[in-house]
Every structure is written in structure tokens, then in C-alpha cells.
């Protein structure tokens, strides 16, 4: 891979894909008898800058940087905090 192939949006998407793959592989390595449980992920994610919220599984939610991200438990909570729904995933 050349440095030119990792620039712009295509590079960002490629890097995010690798990160997601690594996280999935690490999650599958946990032993099934392990008693530790990870905190439950929030079903919705808000973008503090754009004031748009997404389903956690929405592609655009994965593009939100951690510092700009807010976990939301419901659409009601999102609306109360001034977020509007994503036009792609339509939460």
C-alpha cells in the first residue's frame, strides 16, 4: 500500500475498517465462561457539533470522533438535548 492510497476519505474508511475488524477479532477471543461483562453500548450516538443523532449501527455514527460523540439511551433523550435524527438511518 502506498501513502497516496491512505489519503482522503478512502484512506479514512480503510483505516476504520481495519480498526473495526481488530475490535471484532478481539471480542471473539474472549472466553465464553468469562464473568466480566462490558458495559452495554448506547443504542444511539449524538454528534455534538452537528446536533444530529444516529443509531449506533449507522455508518455515519462510526465517523464521529470520540471527543465529539455523546452516547444517548433513547430518541426522547436525544430530542430533549436538542439533537435531530439522521436522515440516513432514521432513528
State the CATH number of the domain containing residue 57: 3.40.10.10
| Cβ–Cβ < 8 Å for 43, 77 | no
pLDDT tens track for 3-39? 555 556 666 655 656 565 545 455 555 545 544 555 6
| Cβ–Cβ < 8 Å for 65, 86 | no
Residue 75 lies in a domain: yes
Question: Containing domain of residue 17, as a range?
Answer: 1-30
**Do both 23 and 53 map to the same domain?**
no
**Do both 25 and 1 map to the same domain?**
yes
Question: Based on the structure, what is the number of domains in the chain?
Answer: 2
Residue 64 lies in a domain: yes
Distance between CA atoms of residues 29 and 11, nearest Å: 27
Q: Given this model, what pLDDT does residue 79 score?
A: 96
**Do both 45 and 79 map to the same domain?**
yes
Q: Which three cell numbers stand for residue 78?
A: 436525544
Residue 4 lies in a domain: yes
DSSP 21-77: HHHHHHHHTS-TT----PPPPPSEEEETTTTEEEETT-GGGGGS-GGGEEEES-HHH
Amino acid at each position: 500500500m502506498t501513502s497516496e492510497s491512505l489519503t482522503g476519505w478512502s484512506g479514512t474508511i480503510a483505516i476504520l475498517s481495519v480498526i473495526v475488524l481488530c475490535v471484532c477479532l478481539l471480542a471473539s477471543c474472549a472466553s465464553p465462561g468469562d464473568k466480566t461483562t462490558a458495559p452495554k453500548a448506547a443504542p444511539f450516538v449524538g454528534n455534538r457539533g452537528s446536533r444530529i443523532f444516529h443509531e449506533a449501527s449507522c455508518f455515519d455514527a462510526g465517523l464521529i470522533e470520540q471527543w465529539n460523540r455523546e452516547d444517548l439511551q433513547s430518541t426522547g433523550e436525544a430530542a430533549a438535548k436538542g439533537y435531530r435524527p439522521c436522515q440516513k438511518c432514521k432513528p
